[in-house]
Amino acid sequence: MTDDRAILDTVERFLERHVRPVASTLERADEYPHEIVERMRELGLFGCVIPEGHGGLGLRPSTYAQVIERMSWEWMSLSGIINSHLIMAWIVNRIGTDRQKREFLPRFATGALRGGLALTEPDCGTDLQAIRTVARREGDHYVVNGTKTWISNGIHGTCFALLVKTDPTAEPRHRGMSMFLAEKGPGFTVGRKLAKLGYRGIDSAELVFEDYRIPADRLIGGVEGAGLKHAIVGLELGRVNVAARGVGVAQRALDEAVRYAQQRRTFGKPIHEHQAIALKLADMATRTEAARLLVGKAAEALDRGDRSDYEAGMAKLFATEAAVENSLEAMRIHGGYGYSPEFVVERLYRDAPLLVIGEGTNELQRLLIARRLIERSPI
């Protein structure tokens, strides 16, 4: 296993030297960070959780979560470029056939082939069983028709874990769902880039499939009807990622607020000496530390290979809400300056709301947590 401390130190240096000077400019322009992505490839970050035997770094999820926290502290959009990609890789490593692992994981690890997770549709978000994209078997191929939306890496990515219906009449509905490794080609087009409030730089796009032919051996795991299960396996890692992003954003908001509270003076003293500001800083710090501990616990469950939807749900729920609350408090502490794009807190305020929506809304997390709680505590 790669030396975790060395990886984290390398990531810190990379972020400081190559991301910090340009992040705000790229974010405001909503410009894809090509040069940064190339450096991420060189560092092996597209292979963070891919086993070393397949060319990856072989990081434990707990170390990966720390990488994402640091990355999100600097510029959250970068974490999305590898998150969706690594969810796809995680699914293949956990569930894919031996041939799929041999063929795809080494290319995923180098970033030569990169992309993400294609689940969401125009009329389907949280309720994945309502997807309408259909794959029909024709000999040794499937023919896919449908549309996906809000797909991260949709424009610059080249391969996606694609969730479809192989049996639209199946009951219960999840038994008719399957997942494929879909590389771009004839019949697979990018509809449009979608504009966003925050989380800029990373491309979010609409993907359109019109009689797109995909080889049958790209069916993940080689068995129809397990697509929803595959998505859930991937989202366990995804929720740890999004929770770690929440910690990074919450910590950055806290750090910016603490610095400004010592620089800004009113009524003859630094504003941190005013009780109203001091109370905000204390709450922000407590939220951040509590979120970090929850993320660590969820990631360690994944390290052990345990079922982690309970822990990951709690981490995702708390850490992302902490990001939203801290970003707002940081803006209030900065006053009018916090409303200006010249200050980082304005970006944090726009980025944070995505986290309570992505990888399953926080309302859904509460329902999942409650369900698992009852399962764990029968009477």
For every residue of 55-107, DSSP letters joined together read TS----HHHHHHHHHHHHHHHHHHHHHHHHHHHHHHHHHHHS-HHHHHHHHHH
H helix or E strand, kind and range, residue 135: strand 134-138
% helix / strand / coil in the chain, to the nearest 5?
A: 60, 15, 25
- Count CA atoms closer than 13 A to 123's CA, side-chain side: 6
The Cα 145–Cα 115 span in angstroms is 19
Please tell me the predicted confidence (pLDDT) of residue 280.
Answer: 98
Burial-class residue 274 by CB neighbours within 10 Å (0-12, 13-18, 19+): middle
Q: Is 212 helix (H, G, I), strand (E, B) or coil?
A: strand
Specify the DSSP class assigned to residue 360.
S
What residues contact residue 352 under an 8 Å CB cut-off, 6+ apart? 198, 246, 249, 320, 323, 324, 326, 327
Within 8 A by CB and 6+ apart from 131, the residues are 119, 121, 124, 146, 163, 164, 165, 177
- The answer to whether 246 and 199 have CB atoms below 8 angstroms apart is no
In this prediction, residue 359 carries a pLDDT of 87
Q: Return the pLDDT at 2.
A: 52
Catalytic positions are: 359
| Residue from 182, 139, 143, 178 nearest 159 by CA | 182
Other CB atoms within 10 A of residue 103 CB: 16
Q: What is the greatest pairwise CA distance in the chain?
A: 79
27 CB contacts (<8 Å, ≥6 apart)? 75, 77, 200, 201, 347
Q: What is the pLDDT of residue 182?
A: 98
Read off the amino acid at residue 152: S
Predicted pLDDT of residue 308:
87
Tokens standing for residue 361: 């809304």
The beta-strand segments (E) located in 184-244 are 188-193, 204-215
Q: List per-residue pLDDT tens for the chain, 379 residues long.
A: 458 889 999 999 999 999 999 999 999 999 999 999 999 999 999 999 999 999 999 999 999 999 999 999 999 999 999 999 999 999 999 999 999 999 999 999 999 999 999 999 998 877 888 899 999 999 999 999 999 999 999 999 999 999 999 999 999 998 999 999 999 999 999 988 999 999 999 999 999 999 999 999 999 999 999 999 999 999 989 999 999 999 999 999 999 999 999 999 999 999 999 999 999 999 999 999 999 999 999 999 999 998 888 999 999 999 999 999 999 999 999 999 999 999 999 999 999 999 999 888 999 999 999 999 999 999 9
